[in-house]
Amino acid sequence: MSTGATPSEKIDFGACRAITVTCVSEIGWASNDGLMRDIAAGGGMAASQWHMPWREENARGSCSLLEIDGLDGARRRFLIDSGWSRDYMRARFAATGVDQMLRAGEIEAVFLTHEHMDHLFGLQAVLELKPDITIYVPSTFTDDACRFIAGADVPDAHAGNAAPHRGALIRLEPGRVHALAPGLAAVGFDLPIILGVAGEQSLYARIEHKGLVAVTGCGHQGVERIMDFAREHLAEGTQVYGLYGGLHLAPFGPLSPEKEATVREMGKYRLQRIACNHCTGLPAVERMIELGYPVVRGSGRDGSISDLYVGNGDTVTFD
Ligand SMILES: [Fe+2]
Ligand SMILES: [Fe+2]
């Protein structure tokens, strides 16, 4: 199902029993200072990530496994993003069992939220295990990103994909609701993002008798747009009770006064489970905890920088 959202209709994409999200890796890069040096050397935040002299030793990557339990009892699996460093992602896939699932064909698709390096450049580590896996991208993906998926070396950016994609590449139009499974829908947001990227898509899961869970990559579109879209366009959209993923609040260090205000305003959504990680940033998570928000804690293992939130190897279930 792919349905245009108009203000007068609430779109029903079905319901599921539960979703479980395993954080394969939420660490985008090792060092903020190192990342900032590379961005400065490549021309700044408005320059293209495809021509930036990234240093591979600083690369890590964002990737999660989403498992959805249907009302029929069947379990389906989607990989959300594919990380950055190929070696690092191979290790994370091995540590979380994602490698075996990919080989066995138990993960039906990769859902790429946006084309930032820390969400896309590790794709080879997926495709060398399952070259014909279905990939969902926002239709705003650049030609550079599409060439990369098809198999391209990008020496400028010290990146490459030596495992050409051989499966279906499905481009999802922003502003519409695309049902990937009963109770799981993708929605794209068209917006300019730093490093020459356009558009990010999120997932919404609708849990029977409970409400909606929003799942993000970096959340560049902002938590407000994610919540507004649900309220205006989705059935039961006023009951978003859970949130997983990156919220791009303090991705490079301190929490700015503006983003601190965003954190405070989040209180109005009365979320019941917040499993934020990645570019949410530790200072933002600490502020949420100070404000009494229900932040799901993690284990702090496998390279995670804190046990205050769901990190590498941690799993959260929304049911
Ligand atoms: Fe990111
Ligand atoms: Fe991003």
pLDDT in tens, 55-77: 999 999 999 999 999 999 999 99
Nearest to 68 by CA among 207, 178, 200, 176: 207
Contacts of 150 (CB under 8 A, 6+ apart): 161, 164, 165
Contact 82, 302 (CB under 8 A): no
Q: Report the half-sphere exposure of 141 (CA within 13 A, side-chain side).
A: 27
Kindly indicate the confidence band of residue 100, based on its pLDDT and cuts at 50, 70 and 90: very high
Three-state secondary structure call for residue 70? strand
- 301 C-alpha vs ligand 2 centroid, how far in Å? 23
Question: Is the full-model pTM beyond 0.75?
Answer: yes
Q: Is the dihedral of CA 120, 125, 128, 132 positive or negative?
A: negative
pLDDT at 79 over 70: yes
Query: From residue 173, how far is each of 32, 78, 178, 217 by CA, in Å?
Result: 33, 19, 9, 17
Contact 229, 212 (CB under 8 A): no
Contact 226, 216 (CB under 8 A): yes
Across the strands, what pairs with 25? Answer: 63
Give the per-residue pLDDT at 9: 81
- 279 C-alpha vs ligand 2 centroid, how far in Å? 8
pLDDT at 6 over 80: no
Q: Report the half-sphere exposure of 59 (CA within 13 A, side-chain side).
A: 24
Kindly indicate the confidence band of residue 118, based on its pLDDT and cuts at 50, 70 and 90: very high
| pLDDT tens-digit map of 177-220 | 999 999 999 999 999 999 999 999 999 999 999 999 999 999 99
* 51 secondary structure, DSSP code: G
Give the per-residue pLDDT at 199: 97
Give the per-residue pLDDT at 27: 97
State the Cα–Cα distance between residues 234 and 238, nearest whole angstrom. 8
Structure tokens at 163: 């495992």
pLDDT at 5 over 70: no
- 45 C-alpha vs ligand 1 centroid, how far in Å? 14
Query: Which ligand is nearest the CA of 251, by number?
Result: 1
State mean pLDDT over 71-100: 98
| pLDDT tens-digit map of 282-311 | 999 999 999 999 999 999 999 998 999 999
- 182 C-alpha vs ligand 1 centroid, how far in Å? 27
| pLDDT tens-digit map of 231-272 | 999 999 999 999 999 999 999 989 999 999 999 999 999 999
pLDDT at 7 over 90: no
The letter for the amino acid at 127 is L
Average pLDDT taken over every residue of the chain:
96
- Which residue is it, tokens 């591979």? 56
Please name each of the domains of the chain with its CATH number. Answer: 13-318 (3.60.15.10)
- 276 C-alpha vs ligand 2 centroid, how far in Å? 14
State mean pLDDT over 125-150: 98
- 216 C-alpha vs ligand 1 centroid, how far in Å? 10
| pLDDT tens-digit map of 150-176 | 999 999 999 999 999 999 999 999 999
